[in-house]
C-alpha cells in the first residue's frame, strides 16, 4: 500500500507528509503553549517553529498560558497549528468542529482553507456538520452502515440531482420513470429527490423542479440505505478538500 504519490504507508517519508488533528484535541493540559511547541519541535523531523509562533501570535493565543486554561477554540487552533507546522502534504481532520462554537468553527475552517489555497495541502475532513462540508469540501464521501454510499465531486453531485414537487396522486407514476432516491408524500403533495444523470428532461405539468442542497442530498441517501451514487474514487491532487460524513 502506498500514499502521497507512491510513498510506502508507514514509512518515515509518508509519516513526515501527513498530519492529524483528532476530535478531542489531545494536548498536555499542564504544559504552556510555548512548552507544547518546544515538545513538538523535538518530536518531529519536520517542523516550522517560526510559522507556529507567528500563527499563535496572530490568533492572540498567549505562549505562557497553560493549555488547560485556554478556551476550546484556542485549544483546537493550537492542535491545528501543531499539525500545520509540520508542513504536511496531507492533513487529516477527525470531527474537528464537534466541540466548537460557531465563531471558533468558522475561524478553524478559515485556517484550513488558507492552508489548502496557499500551501497546496490536501485535506480529508471527517464531520457530521454538513453545512461546513458544503462550504469547504470539493469532494464528498458518505459512509453509511460501514460502506461507501455516495462519492463524487460536490458540484457534480448537486448538479446530478433535483427535488421535484407535485401532486401526490401522480407521484408513483412519475417516480417510475426516474431514478428515485427518496420520496416524501402527504395527502396532496409529494416531494421526490431524484438523480438526473445530467439529463433532467421536461417537468410534467403541475410539477416543479428545485435544486438540491448538500444537506438535503445527504439526508435523502441516509434515509434510503439501498440507494447509491458512486461515480468513482476521489482524484489525487494537491490542494484538494475531501469531506467524509457518516
The predicted model scores a pTM of 0.80
Same domain? 108 vs 168: no
- Order across the sheet with 189-195: list the strands: 179-185, 189-195, 161-167, 208-210
Residue 122 lies in a domain: yes
More confident residue, 44 or 13: 44
CATH number of the domain encompassing residue 169: 3.30.70
Average pLDDT over the chain, rounded to an integer: 87
- Mark whether 116 and 177 lie in a shared domain: no
Q: How many domains does the chain have?
A: 2
Same domain, yes or no, for 19 and 109? yes
* In a domain? residue 239: no
Same domain, 17 and 96: yes
Q: What is the pLDDT of residue 239?
A: 64
Give the sheet arrangement for strand 241-245, strand by strand: 18-21, 90-94, 122-126, 241-245, 139-144, 147-153
Pair 30, 97 in one domain:
yes
Question: Dihedrals φ, ψ of 34, to 5°?
Answer: -65, -45
Domain assignment present for residue 147? The answer is no
Residue 246 belongs to a domain:
no
Q: Say if 213 falls within a structural domain.
A: yes
Residues 118 and 161 both lie in one domain: no
Are 111 and 166 within one domain?
A: no
pLDDT above 60 (res 233): no
**11 and 122 part of one domain:** yes
Q: Does a structural domain hold residue 62?
A: yes
Most distant CA pair in the chain, distance: 69
In this prediction, residue 237 carries a pLDDT of: 57
Q: What is the per-residue pLDDT for 219?
A: 92
Residue at a domain's end among 86, 106, 126: 126
User: Is 160 found in the same domain as 117?
Assistant: no
Q: Can you give the CATH number for the domain in which 106 is found?
A: 3.40.50.300
Q: Could you give the angle at the alpha carbon of 114 between the alpha carbons of 112 and 120, nearest 5°?
A: 90
| In a domain? residue 73 | yes
In a domain, 131, yes or no: no
Q: Which residue has the higher pLDDT, 240 or 74?
A: 74
Together in a domain, 85 and 190 = no
Range of the domain at 200: 156-223
Amino acid at each position: 500500500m502506498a500514499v502521497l504519490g507512491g510513498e510506502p504507508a508507514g514509512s518515515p517519508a509518508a509519516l513526515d507528509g501527513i498530519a492529524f488533528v483528532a476530535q478531542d484535541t489531545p494536548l498536555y493540559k499542564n504544559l504552556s503553549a510555548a512548552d507544547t511547541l518546544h515538545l513538538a519541535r523535538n518530536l518531529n523531523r519536520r517542523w516550522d517553529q517560526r510559522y507556529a509562533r507567528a500563527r499563535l501570535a496572530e490568533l492572540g493565543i498567549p505562549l505562557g498560558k497553560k493549555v488547560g486554561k485556554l478556551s476550546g477554540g484556542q485549544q483546537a487552533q493550537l492542535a491545528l497549528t501543531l499539525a500545520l507546522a509540520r508542513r504536511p502534504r496531507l492533513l487529516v481532520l477527525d470531527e474537528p468542529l464537534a466541540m466548537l462554537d460557531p465563531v471558533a468553527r468558522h475561524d478553524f475552517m478559515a485556517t484550513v482553507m488558507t492552508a489548502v489555497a496557499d500551501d497546496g495541502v490536501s485535506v480529508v475532513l471527517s464531520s457530521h456538520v454538513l453545512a461546513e462540508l458544503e462550504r469547504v469540501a470539493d469532494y464528498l464521501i458518505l459512509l453509511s452502515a460501514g460502506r461507501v454510499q455516495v462519492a463524487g465531486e460536490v458540484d457534480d453531485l448537486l448538479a446530478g440531482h433535483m427535488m421535484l414537487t407535485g401532486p401526490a396522486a401522480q407521484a408513483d407514476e412519475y417516480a417510475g420513470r426516474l431514478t428515485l432516491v427518496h420520496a416524501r408524500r402527504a395527502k396532496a403533495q409529494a416531494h421526490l429527490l431524484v438523480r438526473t444523470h445530467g439529463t433532467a428532461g421536461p417537468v410534467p405539468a403541475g410539477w416543479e423542479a428545485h435544486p438540491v442542497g448538500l444537506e438535503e442530498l445527504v439526508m435523502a441517501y441516509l434515509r434510503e440505505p439501498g440507494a447509491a451514487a458512486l461515480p468513482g474514487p476521489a482524484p489525487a491532487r494537491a490542494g484538494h478538500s475531501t469531506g467524509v460524513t457518516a
